Amino acid sequence: MHDNTTRHLTLITGAARSGKSELAETLAAGSDGQVYYLATMQRWEEDREGVSRIERHRQRRPGSWVTVEVGRELDVCVRGLPAGPGFVLIDCLSVYVSNLLLDGFQEGDDPYTRADLISQAIERLLAAIDERRDLEFVAVTNEVGWGVVPSTPLGRAYRDLLGLANQAFAHRAHTVWLMCSGLKLRLR
């Protein structure tokens, strides 16, 4: 076990539609305290697929859970949660990194100039989680590095920057699960 692991942090990673959110929701449902669902996906009414996805996730959650929609500054949100005991489900880091990468991005910009900003945001989030020992955390993320190399600079930067964020969380998490086709494999 690494010396710097956060005992109250679990990371769930895997491919899209592999069962990550369902596992996280099962863990949350088994907790004794209040559940806070931190949803990072922004709702754009013109994105019918995205709205449908958000609604499917909402319908799976019990009405007693508190949903907080937070696309940026997750660290501020975590620090502002009521005192525990409680359980915090972050769904998901991959959308959070995308939000940070695209915030203010213009066509022709070098996406790698956002690397420090994203790294610092991830470190602030991990520090906030570490400070909140009164809460249990599970973070969901996508494993995007196993597929075809993206054809655009923005796509390649996203893959690289999310990979670094995932590594930071995996190094700090006490428990790490890999989901594949609805099956879970404990990595730590």
> SS in 3 state form for 12-42?
EEECCCCCHHHHHHHHHHCCCCEEEEEECCC
Look-up of token digits 């993320």: 141
Angle at 122 between CA 158 and CA 10, to 5 degrees: 100
Q: With a cut of 80, say whether residue 45 has pLDDT above it.
A: no
Residue 25: other Cβ atoms inside 10 A? 21
- Pairing state of beta strands 173-180 and 183-186? antiparallel
Measured distance CA(151)–CA(165) in Å, rounded: 21
Decide if 167 contacts 57 (C-beta within 8 A).
Answer: no
- For 110, the enclosing helix (H) or strand (E) is none
- pLDDT tens digits, one per residue of 59-102: 677 888 999 999 899 999 999 999 989 999 999 999 999 999 99
Average of per-residue pLDDT values in the chain: 89
- pLDDT tens digits, one per residue of 119-157: 999 999 999 999 999 999 999 999 998 888 899 999 999
> Which residues are registered as beta bridge partners of 184?
179
Q: Please state the domain extents for the chain.
A: 6-186
pLDDT at 148: 86
Top-confidence residue, 53 or 11: 11
What CATH class does 6-186 carry?
Answer: alpha beta
Q: With a cut of 80, say whether residue 56 has pLDDT above it.
A: no
> Which residues are registered as beta bridge partners of 186?
177
Measured distance CA(128)–CA(76) in Å, rounded: 8
Catalytic, 57? Answer yes
Going by pLDDT thresholds of 50, 70 and 90, the confidence category of residue 1 is very low
What are the structure tokens assigned to 124, written together? 């602030």
- For 136, the enclosing helix (H) or strand (E) is strand 135-140
Annotated catalytic residue, options 2, 8, 57, 171: 57
What are the structure tokens assigned to 98, written together? 């995308």
Question: Which residues 6+ apart lie within 8 Å of 21 measured at CB?
Answer: 57, 60, 91, 92, 140
CA 161 to chain centre: 13
